[in-house]
């Protein structure tokens, strides 16, 4: 959301996630023009970028930004020192409409400044959890998403599917929470669960992620942006 000189934010930058939002994941904001027309926003991976705050300050693109500074202990490349402070600073940047904060950081009490900065500046929060080893039981998926939803506008959960049953458990949890009125974003990483990236929105998932170029994927099993946009649109047309 843009911050005008009077301190008000431009609603054109708002990321409310009330409907499905397709995020083009990138560490290079110069990819924004290539994402237009397919993506609704950019997920800027600050942890993968050089001088990310400077890149945000100089950003002049049209798409709003979901800023992510992923910790090394949750699949990213950011060291803990200064990581959350940089994410809090990102909330002041005009184009940043949302930030992603790990649920573990929130529960540990380390992310309070980020959450406060986001609230004060009208920036949405995505509370995320990732399982790179497998897929917990369905009841645990529901518990994790419910817990994340207490602190955020969207509860995000990415698991690693090893069987079709894992993918079904994730989709079932997504449908249950959506029916309950919760905003969730879900996906199964890896080849077995890859189809969930296209199918989960049918069950209520609010955010999808895809690289502009498949060679620069930021998570296992991602479709490229053009493919995921086409698949989601095709499934939406069946409703």
Residue appearing with tokens 């940089």? 86
Asked if residue 81 belongs to a known ligand binding site, the reply is: no
Q: What are phi and psi of 63, to 5 degrees?
A: -80, 140
| Partners of 25 in the β-ladder | 43, 211
Residue appearing with tokens 């904060």? 101
Which of 20, 35, 104 lies closest to 65, judged by CA?
A: 35
Give the pair of three-digit tokens for residue 91: 């909330």
The answer to whether residues 92 and 73 touch, using CB atoms and an 8 Å cutoff, is no
Query: Which of 150, 156, 180, 195 is flagged as catalytic?
Result: 156
DSSP code string of 136-180: --HHHHHHHHHHHHTTSSEEEEEEE-SSHHHHHHHHHHHHHHHHT
219 to 163, 167, 208: CA distances (angstroms) = 18, 17, 12
Vertex 238 angle, CA 43 and 41, to 5°: 15
Asked if residue 218 belongs to a known ligand binding site, the reply is: yes
- CA 99, CA 87: separation in Å to the nearest integer? 7
Asked if residue 43 belongs to a known ligand binding site, the reply is: yes
Asked if residue 222 belongs to a known ligand binding site, the reply is: yes
- CA 200, CA 130: separation in Å to the nearest integer? 16
Asked if residue 83 belongs to a known ligand binding site, the reply is: no
150 carries an active-site annotation: no
Query: Which of 130, 150, 180, 195 is flagged as catalytic?
Result: 130
Asked if residue 70 belongs to a known ligand binding site, the reply is: yes
130 carries an active-site annotation: yes
- CA 37, CA 40: separation in Å to the nearest integer? 8
Catalytic residues: 130, 156
Binding residues for 3-dehydroquinate: 43-45, 70, 197, 218, 222
Binding residues: 43-45, 70, 197, 218, 222
């Amino acid at each position: 959301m843009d911050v005008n000189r009077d301190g008000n934010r431009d609603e054109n930058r708002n990321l409310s996630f009330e409907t499905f939002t397709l995020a083009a994941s990138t560490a290079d904001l110069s990819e924004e023009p290539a994402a237009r027309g397919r993506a609704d926003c950019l997920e800027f991976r600050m942890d993968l970028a050089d001088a990310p705050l400077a890149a945000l300050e100089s950003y002049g693109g049209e798409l709003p930004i979901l800023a992510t500074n992923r910790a090394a202990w949750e699949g990213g490349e950011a060291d803990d020192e200064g990581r959350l402070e940089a994410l809090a600073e990102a909330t002041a940047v005009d184009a940043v409409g949302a930030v992603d904060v790990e649920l573990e950081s929130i529960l540990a009490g380390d992310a309070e400044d980020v959450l406060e900065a986001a609230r004060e500046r009208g920036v949405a929060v995505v509370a995320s959890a990732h399982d790179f080893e497998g897929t917990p039981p369905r009841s645990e998926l529901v518990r994790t998403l419910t817990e994340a939803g207490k602190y955020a506008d969207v509860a995000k959960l990415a698991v690693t599917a090893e069987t079709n049953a894992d993918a079904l458990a994730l989709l079932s949890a997504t449908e249950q929470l959506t029916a309950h009125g919760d905003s969730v974003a879900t996906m199964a990483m890896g080849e077995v669960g890859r189809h969930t990236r296209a199918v989960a929105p049918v069950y209520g998932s609010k955010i999808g992620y895809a690289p502009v170029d498949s060679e620069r994927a930021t998570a296992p099993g991602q479709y490229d942006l053009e493919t995921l946009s086409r698949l989601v649109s095709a499934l939406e047309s069946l409703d």
